[in-house]
Chains A and B, each alone.
Chain A
Amino acid sequence: MLARFSEVYQSLSPGLRELRLTLYLLNRNALQRASLIVIAFLVVVAILAPWIAPYPSHAFSATNPQDKLLPPSSRYLMGTDELGRDLFSRIIFGTRISLQTALVAVGLALLIGVPLGAVAGGLGGWVDELIMRITDVFLSFPPLLLAIAIAAFLGPSLGNAMLAIAISWWPWYTRIIRGQAVSVRERQFVRAALAIGAPMSRIIFRHILPNTMAPVIVQASMDLGGVILTIAALSFLGLGAQPPTPEWGLLISTSRTYFLNAWWYSTFPGIAIFVTVLAFNLIGDGIREVLDPRTRKF
């Protein structure tokens, strides 16, 4: 019942109003506003890392053994690690790594998933059937497991971890795009293009794709939190970033030898992951709430 009212409401003047509404609703909720600010802040930190970090050289291989495993102090805000490196500086550089790798991994997944989905939905028939069965197979692996296996066989490195995540993540986007494409295909302008004899490839990439991108972009931005978590998990297992990269998951992994006597070593990188992922998830939740007419608050 409510859905019908909101439909009528939306039809009044879609487009611009929709965008305004979304921003308004996201901005109205204090938590989501805070998350937007946190994400903006993290992006700034990632970009300005070399200038913000008190000891930029500590981020990678420089060592400082005389200050090893010091608790947080005014000199080392978050303490130091087993090689005497400033944890605060390393976590700041870690922001850069996490955001970058997450973006690249999601981007790669989009690069594989989107064209496949457009082709499946655009062409239909056995091509569609084949591509969808392939996504079925990929999605029937437990989450993370496929990424672990691929990363292990590609060889442990951050680049391979990104690739592994992309390979295990793309089917989600294929499914969304395919669903969208099927409904767009039925629309008049696509039929018109077919009628004047435009080739299918052109129709798919000129007409169908642009009209299906919006929901996928939304989904991809909501996925960033999960991807950051996955990268950290791979690094924790030793399949992602390798020392001396200051990746958060790797920091926690190395801290395991020392953390019982150096609580700060595991605690701070974990908080960094938590805050980042939480901010992305809250925004994702907000977007979903706003886009869904059932849960939408007027």
Chain B
Amino acid sequence: MSAYFEIKDLLVGFRTFEETRPVLNIERLAIERGETYGLVGESGAGKTVLALTILGLLPKPAGVIQRGEIWFDGEDLLKKSESELASLYRGKRLAMIFQDPMSTLNPVFTVGQQIERVIEYHQGLRGHSRTQKAVELLEMVKLADAKNILKKYPHELSGGQRQRVVIAIALSCGAEFLIADEPTRNLDVTIQAGILQLIDELRKNLRITVLFIANNVSLVNVFCKRVGILYRGKLVEEGPSPLVIREPLHPYTQTLISALPRDRSERPRFSGFELKPEAPQGCPFYSRCPIGVEFCVQQQPRLEAVIRPEHKAACFLARSR
């Protein structure tokens, strides 16, 4: 029996002219109903690829799913046809918020047209009740003057307003699983907090499950119960967020956390990377790892529980310290 949401042995590659280059290789990633799971990694780690894979929106023909299963509420999404995904899952049960609210809204339609099209398509509402629903949605994401905003074009709104509109559209048809792909990346710091708070409130009120993608551990810590660290397409550490942040096991997580500004006067443990040659057979982090030993070149570490069963890391040296 698999969890509410579970990725099993997923391998996604991008076709180059020489070979298919693996960009995502996840052995297992499970999320419980109602949970908020934080996925952290630097740009290029494969976070967006994961999000697009779940929704079946990988750019084709470059992106290839080589093997694996993605279970969602008892069904394997990778076995669904394109039309099933479109009509039964996307928008209705799965939703996604993208990084850049400017480019996710279609510039030639008003906000109202864009929301109402989705409502009409999924719920068959028309006319006044459709507009009413759109106003409700904008009010749900705490946009003042909703009626007015419906008539506006995306470029007439501020970044924060746009992202709220995007959230409203994404959740307009009762999705229960939300993928938030760095939703605050392109926003001012002051606006970020508001958006994060909104997502957290919506999660509680609408009882949705959230896969929250970020490039920054501190963002995740605030409201994710568990966190996974993605490095070059692989989960290198996973565990309850306070634990991962307090006692990071993987050297990569440690560098991520030591890079954060802290109140305490503790000095960062690693100030930089000494680049070593790549280890194609071994640990993907070897070339940047400050503690790697010869053994790390030969074999790939697996994600395994270290010390506590709920806290896992993919590092041979994690246990020894």
Q: From A5, A8, A9, A297, name the one whose CB has the most chain B CB atoms within 10 angstroms.
A: A5
Q: How many residue pairs, one in A and one in B, have C-beta atoms under 8 Å apart?
A: 20
Contact B48 A298 (CB under 8 A): no
Question: In the complex, what residue of chain B is closest to A6 when comparing beta carbons?
Answer: B62
Q: Mark B167-190, 1 if CB is under 8 A from A, else 0.
A: 000000000000000000000000
The interface stretch among B9-17, B149-157, B272-280 is B9-17
Task: Determine if B309 is an interface residue (Cβ-Cβ < 8 Å).
Answer: no
Contact A1 B61 (CB under 8 A): no
Please name all residues of chain A whose beta carbon is closer than 8 Å to the beta carbon of B44 when the two chains form the complex: 8
Question: In the complex, what residue of chain B is closest to A3 when comparing beta carbons?
Answer: B59
Contact B17 A5 (CB under 8 A): no
Q: Mark B1-14, 1 if CB is under 8 A from A, else 0.
A: 00000000000001
A298 to B20, CA, bound (A): 9
Give how many B residues have a beta carbon under 8 Å from the other chain's beta carbons.
Answer: 10
Task: Determine if B52 is an interface residue (Cβ-Cβ < 8 Å).
Answer: yes
Q: Mark A24-58, 1 if CB is under 8 A from B, else 0.
A: 11000000000000000000000000000000000
Please name all residues of chain B whose beta carbon is closer than 8 Å to the beta carbon of A8 when the two chains form the complex: 44
A8 to B52, CA, bound (A): 18
Instruction: Tell whether A9 pairs with B16 under 8 Å between CB atoms, given A1-B48, A1-B52.
Output: yes
B66 to chain A, nearest CB (A): 15
A83 to B15, CA, bound (A): 59
Task: Determine if A214 is an interface residue (Cβ-Cβ < 8 Å).
Answer: no
A279 to B23, CA, bound (A): 38
Question: In the complex, what residue of chain B is closest to A2 when comparing beta carbons?
Answer: B59
A275 to chain B, nearest CB (A): 29
For the residues of B in contact with A, the DSSP-based class is: loop
Please name all residues of chain B whose beta carbon is closer than 8 Å to the beta carbon of A25 when the two chains form the complex: 17
Instruction: Tell whether A298 pairs with B59 under 8 Å between CB atoms, given A1-B48, A1-B52, A8-B44.
Output: no
Instruction: Tell whether A298 pairs with B15 under 8 Å between CB atoms, given A5-B62, A8-B44.
Output: yes
Contact B17 A2 (CB under 8 A): no
A7 to chain B, nearest CB (A): 10
A25 to B16, CA, bound (A): 11
Contact A297 B14 (CB under 8 A): no
Contact A24 B59 (CB under 8 A): no
Please name all residues of chain B whose beta carbon is closer than 8 Å to the beta carbon of A2 when the two chains form the complex: 59, 62
A49-92 interface with B by 8 A CB criterion = none
A8 to B48, CA, bound (A): 14
A1-17 interface with B by 8 A CB criterion = 1-2, 5, 8-9
Contact A297 B48 (CB under 8 A): no
B60-90 interface with A by 8 A CB criterion = 61-62
Instruction: Tell whether A298 pairs with B52 under 8 Å between CB atoms, given A2-B62, A5-B62, A8-B44.
Output: no
Please name all residues of chain B whose beta carbon is closer than 8 Å to the beta carbon of A154 when the two chains form the complex: none
B267-314 interface with A by 8 A CB criterion = none
Please name all residues of chain B whose beta carbon is closer than 8 Å to the beta carbon of A24 when the two chains form the complex: 17
Contact B16 A297 (CB under 8 A): no
Q: From A8, A21, A297, A298, name the one whose CB has the most chain B CB atoms within 10 angstroms.
A: A298
Please name all residues of chain A whose beta carbon is closer than 8 Å to the beta carbon of B52 when the two chains form the complex: 1
Contact B61 A5 (CB under 8 A): no
Question: In the complex, what residue of chain A is closest to B20 when comparing beta carbons?
Answer: A298
Instruction: Tell whether A297 pairs with B59 under 8 Å between CB atoms, given A1-B52, A25-B17.
Output: no
Please name all residues of chain A whose beta carbon is closer than 8 Å to the beta carbon of B14 when the two chains form the complex: 5, 298
Contact A1 B59 (CB under 8 A): yes
Q: From B17, B52, B59, name the one whose CB has the most chain A CB atoms within 10 angstroms.
A: B17
A24 to B18, CA, bound (A): 10
Please name all residues of chain A whose beta carbon is closer than 8 Å to the beta carbon of B17 when the two chains form the complex: 21, 24-25, 298
Pairs A–B under 8 Å by Cβ, sample size 7:
A1-B59, A5-B59, A5-B62, A9-B16, A21-B17, A298-B14, A298-B15
| Known interface pairs A298-B14, A298-B17; 8 further A-B residue pairs with C-beta atoms within 8 A, sorted by A's residue number | A1-B52, A1-B59, A2-B59, A5-B62, A24-B17, A297-B62, A298-B16, A298-B62
Which residues on B are within 8 Å of A, measured CB to CB?
A: 14-17, 44, 48, 52, 59, 61-62
Which residues on A are within 8 Å of B, measured CB to CB?
A: 1-2, 5, 8-9, 21, 24-25, 297-298
**9 closest cross-chain pairs (CB), A and B:** A2-B59, A298-B16, A298-B15, A298-B62, A298-B17, A1-B59, A21-B17, A24-B17, A2-B62
